[in-house]
Amino acid sequence: MSAHVISGARLADGSTTDLAIVDGRFVEVADAPADAERIDADGLLALPGLVDLHTHLREPGREDAETVASGTRAAARGGYTAVFAMPNLTPDTDTAEAAQYVAELGRRDGTCEVVPIGAVTKGRAGTELAELGLMARQGVRVFSDDGACVHDSLLMRRALTYLKPFDGVVAQHAQDPRLAGPGACCHESEISGRLGLPGWPSVAESTVIARDVQLAEFTGGRYHACHISTAESVEVIRWAKARGIHVTAEVTPHHLLLDTPHVETYDTTFKVNPPLRTSEHIEALREALADGTIDVVGTDHAPHAVQDKDHPFDVALPGMLGLEQALAVVMEVMVGSGRMDWPTLVERMAVAPARIGRLAHQGRPLAVGEPANLVLVDPERRAMVDREQTASLSRNNPYHGRELPDPVELTVWAGRVTYRR
């Protein structure tokens, strides 16, 4: 039985308060036991624990790159108290049993809550629906073939329709496999042309989303666009929301900060799918995140072992780490620049992800009676990112050597301190 009293913390709305935690819930300070641990939060912000709708934990299958234990420790270091685990594992999370196993690993090894995402199609092969209903009965609410696109229009229609009684959401990795084939690895632009890298055009994303949102309207299903990276996608989402379609959208920290020229030295750390885009796309994404067209920041934390990155650019595996620097990046590009206030950050990084994933006890206000999930943030502290200073088993950190905010002081998940600086 643990108890904490956090004194002098500022909340996202600017008010200052003391917070008491007993048995995993916020209680009145007066009700805290005398021997409760006292935490001085003077000058710090207290925010709800962050929720990541898009994490790759690599276990089961590639435990050399990440495990549930290491990945959730990284999450806690980044201020997260829940992560949704993408199903591209070995085996894929495409059955109720596989989903149950991931959830169990989370309960056993997790330093935060681990919520399995189920595959939309068997083996994420894009041809037959996976057992969506059986997974849903295990509590799965988010379904995605992430890493692969559900490109068959009919399958997308069926998935959207079939999931309606389960309140499930299809989280689409939007990539037209003909416009951006398996070799596509660089934003199609002057840079891809110069580097001779196969182009991944922005429209290969937005045309899929355009089709999908119309299917979502037609079926009344719930649709989430993962890691959108282009100005065209933003326009499509904006249009869909204006029509009242049940659509949400996500952006990664790296697509908010890093641009295409990072790949000019063929450094595979910067190979990611979808690829890093140019500044006009980055600007559109920032604007959309600020105005709510984009609902959430999802990390797409994608650990990779060194041997999977030490290849030619078009062969190396795509993906980069994200959990530990996501908050820092959003603070840097959105809050620090004045484009977004703290309540909006909380909405995009905790409240909305929990709502889309139907995770009722996460992303809650820091109020008496609520589950005690929170992160204490030093808004002023900055540091040089060092890829060796990580809980992840991998080192593909695109922010290595870059000065960023270094905010996370303390993370509490269900009343338990999961990270302390």
Exposure letters 317-356 (e unless 16+ CB within 10 A, then b): bbbbbbbbbbbbbbbbbbbeeeebebebbbbbbbbbbbbb
Give me the least distance between CB of 193 and other proteins, in Å please: 4
Residues that bind other proteins (CB under 8 A): 188-199, 265-266, 268, 306-308, 310-317
**Of residues 184 and 372, the one with the C-beta less far from other proteins:** 184
Residues 137 and 141: their CA atoms lie apart, in Å, by 9
**Sign of the CA dihedral running 178, 183, 188, 189:** negative
**Of residues 188 and 295, the one with the C-beta less far from other proteins:** 188
Identify the active-site residue in 146, 176, 300, 308.
300
Phi first, then psi, for residue 84 (nearest 5°) are -95, 125
Give me the least distance between CB of 29 and other proteins, in Å please: 55
Rg (CA), the chain: 20
Residues 393 and 307: their CA atoms lie apart, in Å, by 13
**Sign of the CA dihedral running 219, 220, 225, 231:** positive
**Of residues 62 and 141, the one with the C-beta less far from other proteins:** 62
Give me the least distance between CB of 335 and other proteins, in Å please: 34
Give me the least distance between CB of 205 and other proteins, in Å please: 16
Strand 16-22 and strand 25-27: the pairing is antiparallel
**Of residues 56 and 246, the one with the C-beta less far from other proteins:** 56
Residue 327 CB contacts under 8 Å (≥ 6 apart), including other chains:
50, 78, 79, 349, 375, 377, 405, 407, 408
Beta bridge partners of residue 296, listed in sequence order:
250
Residues 4 and 203: their CA atoms lie apart, in Å, by 51
H/E stretch holding 307 reads helix 306-309
Give me the least distance between CB of 267 and other proteins, in Å please: 8
Residues 408 and 416: their CA atoms lie apart, in Å, by 16
Q: Helices 203-219 and 231-242 sit at what angle, rounded to 10 degrees?
A: 10
Q: Is 300 one of the catalytic residues?
A: yes
Give, as one character, the DSSP assignment of residue 207. Answer: H
Question: Per the structure block, which two tokens stand in for 123?
Answer: 């083996």
**Of residues 306 and 367, the one with the C-beta less far from other proteins:** 306
Residue 134 CB contacts under 8 Å (≥ 6 apart), including other chains:
95, 96
Give me the least distance between CB of 407 and other proteins, in Å please: 33
Give me the least distance between CB of 265 and other proteins, in Å please: 7
> Cα–Cα–Cα angle for 302, 392, 3, nearest 5°?
115
Give me the least distance between CB of 319 and other proteins, in Å please: 13
**Of residues 224 and 281, the one with the C-beta less far from other proteins:** 281
Among 219, 204, 243, residue whose Cα is nearest residue 170: 219
**In whole angstroms, how far apart are CA 87 and each of 67, 95, 393?**
14, 10, 19
**Of residues 187 and 286, the one with the C-beta less far from other proteins:** 187
**Of residues 181 and 369, the one with the C-beta less far from other proteins:** 181
Catalytic residues: 300
